């Protein structure tokens, strides 16, 4: 059985071949094996937003911030996803949090 990182690499390859839905399916399989795989949640946030699934995109972006709460990029990504999904106040709050983390670090 492939490792989570190998599964992630395969999902990336599938996405690079132009099959976003296939990449999403592979990442969801990966999350069954490793529910806390940060890179998978991060990728799913982007891919699902592009596929017009804003609720799921935001859910995965939020999960990234839960799994990596000290990473400013996690909150920046949440901000971008929220903005693209029309959640402007949440986007602004996430960006402010990212800036606060950057100032502390």
Q: Give the ranges where 17-50 is alpha helix by DSSP (H).
A: 20-33, 38-50
- This prediction's pTM: 0.94
Q: Which domains are assigned to the chain?
A: 4-104 (1.25.40.10)
Q: Predicted confidence band at 1 (pLDDT cuts at 50, 70, 90)?
A: confident
Quick: pLDDT tens for 60-105: 999 999 999 999 999 999 999 999 999 999 999 999 999 999 998 7
């Amino acid at each position: 059985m492939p490792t989570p990182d190998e599964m992630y690499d395969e999902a990336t390859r599938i996405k690079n071949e132009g099959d976003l839905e296939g990449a999403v399916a592979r990442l969801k399989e990966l999350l069954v094996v490793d529910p806390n795989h940060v890179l998978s949640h991060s990728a799913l946030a982007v891919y699902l937003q592009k596929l017009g699934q804003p609720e799921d995109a935001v859910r995965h972006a939020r999960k990234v911030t839960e799994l990596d709460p000290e990473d400013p990029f996690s909150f920046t990504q949440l901000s971008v996803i929220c903005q693209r999904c029309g959640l402007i106040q949440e986007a602004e709050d996430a960006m402010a949090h990212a800036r606060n983390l950057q100032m502390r670090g």
